[in-house]
Amino acid sequence: MVSVGFWFLSLCLFFGVRVHASSSSTTKDLQPYRTGFHFQPPKNWINDPNGPMYFNGVYHLFYQYNPYGPLWGNITWGHSISHDLVNWLILEPALTPKETYDIQGCLSGSTTILPTGPKPIILYTGQDINGSQVQNLATPKNLSDPFLKEWVKSSGNPFLTPVNDIGPTLFRDPSTAWIGPDGKWRMVIGSEINGHGTALLYYSTDGMKWTRSKKPLHFSSETNMWECPDFYPVSNVGTNGLDTSFQGNNTIHVLKASFNNHEYYVLGTYDPKTDMFHVVSNDFKVSNAQFQYDYGRFYASKSFYDSAKQRRVIWGWVNEGDSESDAIKKGWSGLQSFPRSIWLSDTRKQLVQWPVKEIEKLRAKQVSIKSRELKSGTLLEVSSITASQADVEVTFSLSKLDKTEQIDSEVADPQLLCNQKNASLSGSIGPFGILALASKNMTEQTAVFFRVFKGPHKFLVLMCSDQSRSSIAQEVDKSIYGAFLDLDPLHEKISLRSLIDHSIVESFGGEGLACITARVYPKVAINKQAKLYVFNNGKENVTMSSLNAWSMNKAQITPMV
């Protein structure tokens, strides 16, 4: 079989692209927190993913990037391309802050592919010379360039400025546009109007000139500023994604807003003729919002429709949990989550996310365990794989729930529960799960686990990601994150998939019903010293129905010379 690295280099040679050599294992030893298969450039600061798209056979990922250092500032649009969402070629930045309308930063935005041509356009927020946030447009310089390396800013920029009731610093992050039955394009921009988080709605006949609707698409009286809004349809039938402009029956629309350091979304029905969006799930709230893309360290996500695979794919920015001084020492800060497919769950009540299938091409040595009873106190090492760079899938089943712990409410705060009942505190059913990036003496461990409770009317399955013992270092974040899984543990298995990649543990519970992303900075459990365990610290036995774990090869993330 031809190696992934050989394939990628051959592709670059085919297009006449020169690349830098990839970093050596010595560099990995000196930089134990750099990831092997999550996207991050070789150095410097990155944050929000911007404008991902699939165009003429190439995937494009843009992102907020500081080309001059590992802290926020000098924000440009970094640009990388791929043919498989796994291996990436890093190009020169697509947008740099040079004009009066973006001199203080080319901030977040989206891409839209206009049918004439077809031609992609970038809609982005610039921070102008006065510090105001204004909306700008850019187009490719040469559509025949397969990589779209150069982009030209419109002579009409800025095409929108904050006027009337819009605060000058509360107007940013235009969404991907969609076209309605009247032939007009629509997009939303994040804002805060009279203290209310808002998705402002705008219209255009050509994708170039935009006017504001009298009414926003949606707003919330209980939240502050909405960043990075996203609006798209999902199918009521199957798992295939839909184009952002899709109009038809059997669809639900998703509105996502970023605030309070999390990604909240609501489901609703959308009438493209009237632009009325009616929420059918719990609406946005400052506290106890019902649905989040991810309950951990995951923010400013952006989605796109992948027409090649008929799926919707999202990325999120995963920021650091160490200090600015650590970033300066490392020379970099931030990474992107692994791209995820997203669709409507079988219950049609929420979204499901799963790593894109292409990740499987990085899988190497495999370990499999079938049907193992985990008695109380079990600690089972999963050996013979690279535990610091792994893909782990494990499924548990429960046969008896008669001794389940009682809980008074079915609307309890899952993060508070995970803090109160962490991995070291024994319950009746749980905690059980995995210990990732664990040291041999167990002084360091990142626990991703489940507990089961009995509420007034149903069982509650709690998923936790516990960083409280993730590092012997004192100055790093050691948060504990939590979420509930909407499943019945009496009749359904409880599954966990974790992507472990040196300083990130990206976990998917209940086949993607809840996702929790954590950043960890072990001092001992690094590289070959990292261990992986399955455990049961509950009083009742648990059956591990199956476990499959793979060492993961390194993705090719290579800068162009």
Are 198 and 219 spatial neighbours (Cβ–Cβ below 8 Å)? yes
Opening angle at CA 273, ends 272 and 276, nearest 5 = 65
State the Cα–Cα distance between residues 519 and 45, nearest whole angstrom: 16
State the Cα–Cα distance between residues 561 and 559, nearest whole angstrom: 6
Q: What is the distance, to the nearest Å, from the Cα of residue 179 to the centroid of all Cα atoms in its chain?
A: 26
Q: Specify the pLDDT at position 290.
A: 73
State the Cα–Cα distance between residues 471 and 454, nearest whole angstrom: 33
Instruction: Kindly report the length of the chain.
Output: 561
Are 516 and 434 spatial neighbours (Cβ–Cβ below 8 Å)? no
Q: Specify the pLDDT at position 408.
A: 82
Q: Write out the two tokens for 400.
A: 């008896």
* Burial of 561: CB neighbours in 10 Å, binned 0-12, 13-18, 19+: exposed
Helix (H) or strand (E) holding 270: strand 262-271
Are 543 and 396 spatial neighbours (Cβ–Cβ below 8 Å)? yes
Q: What is the distance, to the nearest Å, from the Cα of residue 144 to the centroid of all Cα atoms in its chain?
A: 31
Q: Specify the pLDDT at position 560.
A: 86
Nearest Cα to 61, choosing from 88, 30, 32? 88
Identity of the residue numbered 240: N
DSSP per-residue string spanning 108-130: EEEEEEETTTTEEEEEEEEE-TT
Cβ count within 10 A of residue 395: 16
Question: In angstroms, what CA-CA distances link 33 with 235, 474, 499, 559?
Answer: 38, 16, 14, 20
3-class secondary structure, 11: helix
3-class secondary structure, 195: coil
List pLDDT tens digits, range 111-128.
Answer: 999 999 899 999 999 999
48 tagged catalytic: yes
Residue with tokens 């499924």: 395
Torsion of CA 438, 337, 67, 42, to 10 degrees: 50
Q: Specify the pLDDT at position 281.
A: 85
- What backbone torsions phi and psi does residue 465 show, to the nearest 5 degrees? -125, 110
What burial letters (b/e) apply to 522-538, b meaning 16+ CB within 10 Å? beebbeebbbbbbbbbb
Q: In 273-326, where do the E strands start and end?
A: 276-279, 299-306, 311-318
Q: Which residues of the chain have pLDDT under 50?
A: 1-10, 13-14, 16, 21-27
List pLDDT tens digits, range 433-449.
Answer: 999 999 999 999 999 99
Identity of the residue numbered 228: C
Q: Specify the pLDDT at position 268.
A: 96
State the Cα–Cα distance between residues 90 and 42, nearest whole angstrom: 9
Catalytic residue among 29, 48, 243, 346: 48
SS3 labels along 193-262: ECCEEEEEEEEECCCCCCEECCCCCEEECCCCCCEEEEEEEEECCCCCECCCCCCCCCEEEEEEEEECCE
- What backbone torsions phi and psi does residue 95 show, to the nearest 5 degrees? -135, 135
State the Cα–Cα distance between residues 306 and 176, nearest whole angstrom: 13
State the Cα–Cα distance between residues 81 and 19, nearest whole angstrom: 13
Q: Specify the pLDDT at position 298.
A: 98
Structural domains in the chain? 31-355 (2.115.10.20), 365-553 (2.60.120.560)
Q: Specify the pLDDT at position 561.
A: 60
State the Cα–Cα distance between residues 333 and 482, nearest whole angstrom: 25
- What backbone torsions phi and psi does residue 14 show, to the nearest 5 degrees? -60, -40
Question: In angstroms, what CA-CA distances link 489 with 189, 461, 486, 559?
Answer: 41, 7, 10, 47
Nearest Cα to 140, choosing from 126, 131, 151? 151
Identity of the residue numbered 370: K
Q: Specify the pLDDT at position 202.
A: 98
List pLDDT tens digits, range 185-212.
Answer: 999 999 999 999 999 999 999 999 999 9
State the Cα–Cα distance between residues 300 and 481, nearest whole angstrom: 18
List Cβ neighbours of 21 (8 Å cut-off, separation of 6 or more). Answer: none
State the Cα–Cα distance between residues 268 and 255, nearest whole angstrom: 8
